[in-house]
Structure formats: structure tokens, C-alpha cells
Homo-oligomer: A and B are copies of this chain.
Amino acid sequence: MLEQFKKYIIDNTGLSENEYKELEHLVYSLEAKKGTVLLKENQICNKAFFVCKGMLRSYTVDEMGKDHIIQFASENWWIADRSSFYFDEPSELFIDVIEDAEIVYIHKEFIKTAEKLSKNFVSFNTLALQKNIRQMQKRINYLLAATAEKKYLDFIETHREITYRLPLQMIASYLGITPESLSRVRKELARKNFKP
């Protein structure tokens, strides 16, 4: 896993092998079974998780006990509560493992050190933030406007590779609809002979 992470970092930030060496001691790894909770509400999210294998999710739980999925993260994706991580605030999110996973994680120190090491890393970080914003804006737009069917079709499109790995109820939670509704949407799409 550490190799995979190293490759990811070097490929994406343009750091040299030598520069990476200076960061190596700030990188941790972990294997976790499905069901493992990595962050709980009200904790401060002091780690950013990078998924090498498997799948994680972040979500909130409302007063009714229902969960609302904010993000999925599979291979080569990051997941964390950005606000909590950056501002040292208690998190409103849970993060857990939904498919047995190999995970690399870092603390703020990694980022600080990397930013001192190379301006490229700063740009890399900014790029990640910008991409995040773009994706969130798209999602807000969908939540404002779209019907259940549209939301689902958009989800398939933007998450094609992981759709088949996710149980229906989690996709429903991500879309803000009930599992029953999503089941009906699927049925309706099948009727219109839609091929996923």
C-alpha cells in the first residue's frame, strides 16, 4: 500500500523520489474490515484517508437516525471531513468501511511538511480543493432540480466504475431518496430497456 501511495503522490505532485523520502515517516497504513468506523461525529478529524483498496464512505446521521451519505471513496481516492481536518472543528460526519479496505492515512503534518518541501505540492492541494468544489456544486445543482430518475442516471454516469459495487440503499442515501423509490426507478428504467 505504501508503494501505491508513493506512486500516487509522485505522479500527481511532481515531487522527486528524494523529496518523498522526507515525507515517508509521516505516512501510515492500516487494513480495516467492512464495518470499521474510522471517524465518529463530534470527533476532530485529524486524519485524511487515502484508499488503496476497498471502499469507504462518509455520512451524517439525522435526528431520526437516518443516514445521508456525503461521499464514497474507492481506490486512489481521498476521504476525510475537510472542514474538521482544516479548522480543527468537531466533525459532523461519520466515516466507515463498506468494503474491506487497505488504507493509507496522513496527518496535517504531512501536508505542512510537503508544502514546505515543494511549491508543487501547494498547487496540487489547491487543485484538489478546486476539483472538490466543482463536484460539490454539480451535486447541489442536481439536488435542487432533478427528479429521482435524473439523479440516479447522473450518479451512474459520474460513478460508473463503483455503481455495481454499491448496495442500492447506499446509492439511495447518497441521492437523498428512499431505497424503495430507487428500486422503482430502476424497475422503470429496465422497462424502458435501459442498459447500465
Contacts and interface: CB of A to CB of B under 8 A. Distances in A.
Question: Do most interface residues of chain A lie in helix, strand or loop, or is the interface mixed?
Answer: helix
Contacts of A136: 133, 136-137, 140
Contacts of A90: none
B140 A70 contact: yes
B176 A92 contact: no
A137 B176 contact: no
Assign chain A's interface to a size class: 20 to 34
Contacts of A140: 70, 136, 139-140, 143
Given A125-B126, A126-B129, A136-B136, A145 B62 contact: yes
A133 B134 contact: no
Contact of A82 (B62, B70, B92, B130): B130
Interface string A34-65: 00000000000000000000000000101000
A143 B176 contact: yes
A68 B145 contact: yes
Count chain B CB atoms within 10 A of each CB in A134, A144, A176 and give the residue with the most.
A144
A70 B132 contact: no
A50 to B, nearest CB: 18
A8 interface: no
